Structure 1
Amino acid sequence: MTIIPADWAVFAFLAVFVPVWGWFDHRAFLRRESVADTDILSAEYMKTMAFHGVIAASVLATWFVLGRDWSALGFRDPNLAGHFRIGSFIAAALLIGMVLNLLGGRVSGRGDAARLKAYGKLAPFLPKTPRQHRWGMALSLSAGVAEEIAYRGFVMWMLAFVMPVYAVIAVQAVVFGMAHAYQGWGGTVGTAILGAVIGLVYWATGSLFLPILLHVLVDAMSLSLAYFTYRRQARREAGA
């Protein structure tokens, strides 16, 4: 397999259009949210899930039309030899850290003030009701599947033709981070770091299985932690 113009078109879509669309769509959502008297976040989650479908389709349709080997895109069993242990260790370490953070935020209000401050301008996009939380879990699934196919499967495959593996992991992490530029600098950098970690897992296992699972769980736990934090804050305000 070689890179053709269609690959560059998909890469440009992921590296340029997706960040720009995300930025302007989030700004439009904030304007609607500031004057809305109903729950519009669930609808925004649904729209974002649909866009995740577009992201995945851009890669899968190209792959299908060109008749390429799906294993090259990461649709294969993890390689249990080589660096699999490294990938498993990284994935386990990240998940343990996230689980402990979630459990701490679930059972205790300590850290709520810091989290609420850290959420900042992203707060309107975080779940605060049971319905929003349920849609947030669905959003976590769609993001995990679509973004791993696109950024780990496709982008890392394409970059591997023109640069060494360490550069591939770094560049795809930057592209992934920029896709979340609507979250501000903190969110962009944090997402890029997550992308680098998951990129290492993908490189170590050669399969999208662990990256997708890891991505879904990280997103689900992050949104759940926000939900628990806002629910607790609402109870405090109601009891004040």
Structure 2
Amino acid sequence: MTGLPASLADFGPAALAAVVVAAYLVVGEPVVGQVLHRRFEGRLRTDSGARRSFYRRLLVLEWGLAVLALAVWLSAPGVDAAAVGLRWPQERPGPLAAVLVVVVLLLVVASTRQLRAGALLETARPARRPGEGRHAEPPGHSTLALLPRTDRERRLFTVVGLTAGVCEEWLYRGFFLAVVAATAGGAPTAVLVAVAAVAFGLAHAYQGRAGIITTGVLGGVMAVLYLDTGSLLLPVLLHALIDLRFLLVPASALPGQAPGAQETAGG
């Protein structure tokens, strides 16, 4: 269990900034995600570079938020590295955490197969109306729309997946839970896990109700693993693995390439 802050006073002069950043993660990030994704889907119909542009925006946003949270933490005199998970694991995962990780990995394998099957089914559908383009996924297929089609997109997507593992675990587990614990004054572990799950699920609101539930559950599992080991290391590795699994879906199984991109598509 991490030595989480017991009071906002531990953040000292950075207390207000810490609360503001944490509140943004819960309230602002879902809105920004929705806006960025809608713009991305709009550009996807006509711009072959839409995915690369979207990936770059994600990198700027996630690293920007991570650095901001890091700066706030560095300004908090009473919150040490252990309180935000920036240390090596202090204990092995307990039985509950170990079981949850195994279940998540099994679900990841199953969902990857299902995603590939869904992509193949989508490629078999009739072409869309003129002007929409074969690469424009229908509403609700946000995950398929985000998957890389070309070698350049796959390389950039790899960076995005690694970034998500590092930045999102730091933001939603290390930093966010430290602020929640300090604000609540020693909340029980179950409450911290629930709050982490809800916040992480809402951050993926652009994926729809099913996406919120799925990522919320994953967020809760990551929180259990973090609080159990006292370190962000294992959650970061698991998170990156979950995101990078999308690279196992070959471009040939995805619905259509962007105009002019077929010659660089990876298989």
TM-score, length basis structure 1: 0.83
Q: State the shift of 1:126 in Å.
A: 1.7
1:14 correspondence with 2:25: yes
What corresponds to 1:220 in structure 2?
A: 244
What corresponds to 1:113 in structure 2?
A: 121
- Counterpart of 2:199, as a letter, is V
Q: d(CA) in 1 for partners of 2:148 and 2:141? A: 14
Gaps of 5+ in 1: none
The answer on whether the counterparts of 1:14 and 1:55 sit within 8 Å (CA) in structure 2 is no
Q: d(CA) in 1 for partners of 2:210 and 2:229? A: 29
For residues 167-214 of structure 1, the C-alpha deviation after alignment (integer angstroms, 9 at most, x for no partner) is 111111111111111111111111111111111111211110000000
CA radius of gyration, larger in: 2
- Counterpart of 2:155, as a letter, is R
Q: State the shift of 1:127 in Å.
A: 1.4
Q: d(CA) in 2 for partners of 1:112 and 1:77? A: 42
CA shift in 2, pair 1:122/1:234, >3 Å: closer
Q: Which of these residues, 48, 55, 60, is aligned with residue 45 of structure 1?
A: 55
Identity percentage of aligned residues: 31
For the aligned residue pairs, the C-alpha RMSD in angstroms reads: 2.9
Superposition map of 1:160-239 within 5 A: 160-161=181-182, 162=184, 163-221=187-245, 223-225=246-248, 227-228=249-250, 230-233=251-254
- Counterpart of 1:224, as a letter, is L
Q: d(CA) in 1 for partners of 2:139 and 2:44? A: 20
- Counterpart of 2:89, as a letter, is P
- Counterpart of 1:21, as a letter, is V
What corresponds to 2:83 in structure 1?
A: 72
The answer on whether the counterparts of 1:73 and 1:154 sit within 8 Å (CA) in structure 2 is yes
Q: State the shift of 1:70 in Å.
A: 1.1
CA shift in 2, pair 1:105/1:231, >3 Å: farther
Superposition map of 1:138-149 within 5 A: 138-149=159-170
For residues 79-103 of structure 1, the C-alpha deviation after alignment (integer angstroms, 9 at most, x for no partner) is 226x54543443244235434665x
CA shift in 2, pair 1:159/1:17, >3 Å: same
The answer on whether the counterparts of 1:181 and 1:188 sit within 8 Å (CA) in structure 2 is yes
Report the count of equivalent residues.
229
- Counterpart of 2:159, as a letter, is A
CA shift in 2, pair 1:30/1:85, >3 Å: same
TM-score, length basis structure 2: 0.75
Q: d(CA) in 2 for partners of 1:88 and 1:205? A: 11
Structure showing the higher helix proportion among its residues: 1
